Amino acid sequence: MVFTDRMIAKEKITSWIKLMRLEFYSMPFVVYSLGGLIFYKFNNFFLLKNYFVGYLIIFLIELVTVLTNEYYDLEGDKLNKNPGRFTGGSRMLVENKILLRELKRPFIFAILSFFILSLFLFKITFFSNQVLLLLMLGFILGISYTTPPLKFSYRGLGEIDVALIHGFYVIVCGYVFQKGMLDLNIIWVISIPIFFSSLAGVSLAGIPDINSDKLVSKKSVAVILGPKNTLIFSMLFGIVTGGIGISLGSNPIIGDFSYLYFFLTIYSIFLSFSIVKAIQKFDFNIDNLILKTMIFIALSVFIPFIIFIFY
């Protein structure tokens, strides 16, 4: 009996970990850390307390986004016949491994923790207006991805929402949560390729969900444009990212290792050829293509990270 109870408890914990979809938290963590690294390189000091409190807030925003997405996308996930590694939700609610009513307590805990930590961060950053604005913006962008009344992912704005958070918002937080103000334009420059590569990747991720999204009136880029045009859309933003890589690769302001950005350009060419091949095929491996765009996003983040380590 004890052994059975332990097995049930273990399965429940595993189910909650799967529902949280922790694999999607890693890149925002790196981008946030990149913002902190750039702050350190240009200001010669680093506030560890601010960094950790700030990241806990970012983590909670991600968690609330996932919980609300699981709740409001449940009907669509049930109808989805092609769930994959990156799409279709965690499946924990669909498979009844976690009940819908069980989301209430962790959601309330996450919201309360967010507000408590936000108040603390607001205090230790000397009541900065920029910090307050970022906290409010993060909460709105995160919870409104699928939550009414804004429901960005149901209005054709979900992909832009995700790209804004991962491309601009998180890195700016990494910097501003240290000093309380953004006083460095290079942050925006570094953010641009992360934004466009994220937009290319998240747009592709909607292709496997097209049929189920249509049934619940969810207007993703893939639903609006169709599979083929979504592939073209993603490829174009991949090319834009590669072009930005050329510009940054020869920019002395970025540092001695700015040439590393040329690898982003080279990979964008490879990704474009992969997408062209997919367009020419009736049946192609979308998960493999999405994985390639995830690598593309990772490059747009880790290249500046390496550059600023040696800046």
- The per-residue pLDDT of the chain, averaged, comes to 91
Reported pTM: 0.94
Residue 134 lies in a domain: yes
**CA atoms within 13 Å, Cβ hemisphere of 273:** 5
DSSP-assigned letter for residue 208: G
Q: What is the pLDDT of residue 123?
A: 95
Q: What is the pLDDT of residue 4?
A: 56
Residue 16 lies in a domain: no
Q: What is the pLDDT of residue 12?
A: 81
Contacts of 297 (CB under 8 A, 6+ apart): 27, 166, 194, 197, 198, 201
Please give the C-alpha separations between residue 137 and each of 131, 164, 223, in angstroms, as whole numbers. 10, 11, 27
Q: What is the pLDDT of residue 6?
A: 62
Residue 224 lies in a domain: yes
For the chain, how many structural domains are there in total?
1
User: DSSP for 94-126?
Assistant: TTTSS-GGGGHHHHHHHHHHHHHHHHHHHHHTT
Residue 107 lies in a domain: yes
Residue 55 lies in a domain: yes
Q: pLDDT digits over 37-78, tens only? A: 999 999 999 999 999 999 999 999 999 999 999 999 888 888
Per-residue pLDDT of the chain (311 residues; tens, 9 = 90+): 544 556 557 788 888 888 888 888 999 999 999 999 999 999 999 999 999 999 999 999 999 999 999 999 888 888 887 776 667 778 888 888 888 899 999 999 999 999 999 999 999 999 999 999 999 999 999 999 999 999 999 999 999 999 999 989 999 999 999 999 999 999 999 999 999 999 999 999 899 889 888 989 999 999 999 999 999 999 999 999 999 999 999 888 888 899 999 999 999 999 999 999 999 876 778 889 999 999 999 999 999 999 999 98
Residue 90 to residue 17: CA distance in whole angstroms: 10
Q: What is the pLDDT of residue 200?
A: 95
Asked if 86 and 223 touch (Cβ cutoff 8 Å), the reply is: no
- Sequence-ordered alpha helix ranges (H) in the chain: 2-20, 26-43, 48-72, 74-79, 104-124, 129-143, 158-164, 170-179, 186-204, 210-215, 221-225, 227-249, 261-280, 286-309
Residue 96 lies in a domain: yes
Residue 178 lies in a domain: yes
Q: What is the pLDDT of residue 3?
A: 46
Residue 209 lies in a domain: yes
Asked if 215 and 79 touch (Cβ cutoff 8 Å), the reply is: yes
Asked if 198 and 166 touch (Cβ cutoff 8 Å), the reply is: yes
Q: What residue numbers bound the domain in which 141 lies? A: 25-309
Q: What is the pLDDT of residue 8?
A: 58
Q: CA 184, 118, 102, 12 torsion: positive or negative?
A: positive
Q: CA 13, 19, 23, 25 torsion: positive or negative?
A: negative
Query: Each residue of 71-100: b (16+ CB within 10 Å) or e?
Result: ebbbebbeebeebeebbbbbbbbbeebbee
